[in-house]
Chain A
Amino acid sequence: MKLSQRMLTGGAVALALTAFAGAVQAECDWKPERPVTYIVPWGAGGGTDANSRMLASMLEAKMGQPFNVVNRTGGNGVVGHSAIANADPDGYTIGAVTVEITMMEHAGLTDLNQDDVTGIALVDIVPASVLVAADSPYQTLDELLAYAKENPGELTASGTSQGGIWHLAIAGLLNAEGMDPQAIRWVPSEGAAAGMQELIAGGVDVATPALSEGKALVESGELRALAYMNPTRMAALPDVPTTKELLGSEWTMAAFITVSGPKGLPEEITCSYEKAALEIFETPEWAEFKASRGADVVSMGSADLTEMMDQTYENLGATMKAIGIAK
């Protein structure tokens, strides 16, 4: 009896406090008091993992509590994203929500979408590319597309699973150019590295991973980059033309990595993490880390990120429907 009474009072006080906090401006100085779990829905060693581990270690230094990175892989990202979305919105579970959150509902994998998470900040944005092997007969994107138009279904491309983001990149490009999305057939692979290996081995004709993922192989001359699916050229590979320059449709496509929490994360916690993340993105350590991966520093807070995720959800949904992989 006594216990429940105390709980009631406690609850009332907490409610009053929340209401109070809501009434005045959020202070944005919430700090975790015990270790935080940082869920990464993709495997160790990949781009999402590297970015998230770096951010986690810097958050750890900034907020004074350990941030434990946990790779919850599987099910094309569904497992890890569900773990983030279903966590208690108390600030002690956050994670790396990636572009796939805007796709998995369209694909019929799950009911999960970007509404089930609270975007905190954008961590990285990685535009796709069109890569061919060094000994490929195609020197330009035009030549490649012309051949695919003449001989639909003869060429193959790889870089991720069926219906994955890099599949959308090429199928969407073909569709935007008024061609059959199947004109270049998709061969699924387990990730970009496996897809690029197929390309070098001569197993497929094209790969469409992020240009940053293919950068090392392009620089070493094993692969040739025909296009960068971005409005502007990559600083590290200035010779690679953009799809905006090359194509009438100005098609672009990029994947992104965020740091996000579960749905209903209190404003105070969200803006505290947002503030910490944006401050980290301005440090020279972060700039150095980004440069080492051939990427640019991005800086986008919670509000813009949420809008971007909603926008991506619409765009990718339309693309997936157009190329016939939406359920």
Chain B
Amino acid sequence: MAEVFELVFRWDVLSTIFLAACYGLFVGSVPGLTATMSVALLVPITFFLDPVPAVAAIATASATAIFAGDIPGALLRIPGTPASAAYVEEAFALTQKGQAERALATSLVSSCLGGLIGVALLAVFARQLASFAVKFSSVEYFWLGCLGLTAAVAVSSSSLVRGTLGLLIGLFISTVGIDIATGHARFTFGQLDLLDGVSFIPAMIGMFALSQVIRTVTTELDSVVPKAKVGSLSGEMVRVVRSYWKNICRSAVFGNILGALPGAGADIAAWIAYSLSKRFSKTPEKFGTGHAEGIADAGAANNSAVCGAWTPALVFGIPGDTVTAIAIGVLMLKGITPSPRVFTTDGTMVYAIFLAFALANLLMLPLGMVAIRVARQALSIPKRVLMPLILVFCIIGAYAVDNTLFSVWIMLGLGILAYFMEENGIPIAPAILGIVLGKVIEKNFLITMIKSQGEVAGFFDRPVAAVLGATTLLLWGWLVVLAVVRAARARKHAAAT
């Protein structure tokens, strides 16, 4: 243990962590730039660092960038990751009530605690968690994806029908591109850029941010965001922890487990945490109107899932998300080969990385507070100036994802679509989740069908799959019954009056 501290508490490691944290905060808080991008840009620098600072830099930058992505999310409605899209509307609603500080303080403290709990779980249970996670085959992922979609519809603040409509639009968009089972291109109209489908970062930026810009410009350009006095940031954070510590703990554990599932876990975690938050809340009616509870849950799950993604990466060399995919490359380059024995062969090194991870999450508190204070100045910029600036950021962000102008057109097109959707009361969040999960679900559905040679029984013949499948089907049945009962009651009500 002493060796671990010796490895981390050295000026070069600590200064690397500090610089990486500042860097992650900066990149993450630029609207449209993402955590994955912040890590990818760090890779060439890690070539010249010692193993511990190199991996610590990656871990730190990803953790802080994930939180920082919530800043443009709350202030400007530009979410940083698919996961943070789960609660971007909630946070933006708080901002519009003049409580941007409350939204960001909640996000900061829940990210920090979620990250710390995530690291603790990683240090203690990584081996068990990874063994559990790699037992998931295509069937389990299929059902998990379905559960994620159900969560989006079940919590959407509009009606079930409108939520489903939003979801279906998203699912349709996700069918564009090459189908991996047959290699066939669909809805690409000969465009090479569409072969890989509609990438979700430009889609997300367009649907959330651009649609908001259009709405602001057409209706409320001269309105001013009310300035409600919320109190100090630290006071607000203490209040959040006092009222929602149970939510944060629950969602952090939950997010960590889901995050360990390679491929889809980290994206789904925040969505399911948010919907569970609403289900278990004493005040579910406040959700969607700017309520900190959902942000606390989803924020904790989000950052904890980021830690969870490291478990299969370290133990089996199977990346949980794009960030850990890059991290594996750096680990191997530094002579650490991911394997179940990594805790014995490179034990001190691995625990040093965990310690650095924990330090990064702690460091996020003071640095995050500074970032919030700087960023909220954006709200005092007159909207006539702010809106064109957001548009510029939307375009840069969309372009930067894979350096193609085509992404900018995707962003613009979907932004206009989203504007009309919202004007007609169709929520956007389920559409975003549809784009993210549509591919996961379709891919795993096809793989499962290929494996079982078309037998539907293939979806239930493994124990975990059977449980997940039964849960999903029960949930769907329950949602339909609920809708029918509601409709009947409404008809009776209408007849009575």
Contacts and interface: CB of A to CB of B under 8 A. Distances in A.
A163 to B, nearest CB: 6
Contacts of A219: 337, 339
Contacts of B185: 75
A73 interface: yes
Interface stretch (B6-14, B99-107, B327-335): B327-335
Interface in B163-214: 177-178, 180-183, 185, 192-193, 195-197
Contact of A203 (B138, B192, B333, B446): B138
A162 B180 contact: yes
Given A72-B403, A73-B196, A82-B192, A197 B262 contact: yes
B195 A78 contact: yes
Contacts of B182: 162
Contacts of A268: none
Interface stretch (B299-307, B313-321, B378-386): B313-321
B15 interface: no
B246 interface: no
A221 B335 CA distance: 19
Interface string B104-136: 000000000000000000000000000000111
Nearest to A51: B329
Interface string A54-77: 101100000000000111111110
A49 interface: yes
Given A162-B182, A193-B317, A197-B262, A79 B195 contact: yes
Interface string B377-412: 000000000000000000000000011100000000
Contact of A187 (B140, B263, B316, B451): B451
A224 interface: no
A75 B329 CA distance: 23
Contact of B44 (A57, A73, A216): A57
B335 to A, nearest CB: 6
B40 interface: yes
A76 B316 contact: no
A50 B340 CA distance: 23
Interface stretch (A38-46, A117-125, A276-284, A316-324): A38-46
A234 to B, nearest CB: 15
Given A43-B322, A162-B181, A74 B196 contact: yes
B196 A44 contact: no
Contacts of A56: 44
A75 B178 contact: yes
B326 A161 contact: no
Nearest to B36: A44
B338 interface: yes
A143 to B, nearest CB: 22
Nearest to A219: B339
A73 B325 CA distance: 15
A201 B137 contact: yes
Given A45-B328, A73-B196, A190-B443, A57 B47 contact: yes
Interface in B444-485: 446-447, 450-451, 462
Given A57-B44, A200-B316, A49 B180 contact: no
A152 interface: no
Interface in A124-178: 156, 161-163
Contacts of A72: 402-404
A198 B329 contact: no
Interface residues of A, number: 52
Contacts of B462: 202
Interface string A196-228: 111011111000000000011101111000000
A198 B138 contact: yes
Contact of A79 (B43, B193, B318): B193
B47 A54 contact: yes
Given A44-B325, A203-B451, A75 B195 contact: yes
B318 A193 contact: yes
A247 interface: no
B178 A45 contact: no
Given A185-B450, A219-B337, A75 B317 contact: no
Contacts of B327: 45
A4 interface: no
Interface in A103-122: 107, 109
B43 A216 contact: no
Contacts of A156: 451
Nearest to B402: A72
B497 to A, nearest CB: 55
Contacts of A188: 180-181, 446-447, 450
Contacts of B333: 50, 54, 289, 292-293
A8 interface: no
Given A53-B44, A73-B402, A187-B447, A197 B181 contact: no
B316 A222 contact: yes
A217 B317 contact: yes
Contacts of A222: 316, 340
B403 A70 contact: yes
28 contacts: A45-B319, A45-B325, A45-B326, A45-B328, A50-B333, A56-B44, A57-B47, A72-B402, A72-B404, A75-B192, A75-B195, A162-B180, A188-B181, A193-B317, A194-B262, A196-B318, A197-B312, A200-B135, A200-B316, A201-B136, A201-B140, A202-B137, A203-B139, A203-B447, A215-B337, A216-B339, A217-B317, A219-B339
Q: Nearest 5 A-B pairs (CB), nearest first?
A: A74-B196, A45-B325, A75-B195, A203-B137, A220-B339
Interface of B: 36, 40, 43-44, 47, 134-140, 177-178, 180-183, 185, 192-193, 195-197, 262-263, 312, 316-319, 322, 324-329, 332-335, 337-341, 402-404, 443, 446-447, 450-451, 462
Given A54-B333, A293-B332, 9 more contacts: A45-B324, A53-B44, A57-B44, A71-B402, A197-B137, A198-B137, A201-B137, A202-B135, A292-B335
Interface of A: 43-46, 49-50, 53-54, 56-57, 69-76, 78-79, 82, 107, 109, 156, 161-163, 185, 187-190, 193-194, 196-198, 200-204, 215-217, 219-222, 289, 292-293
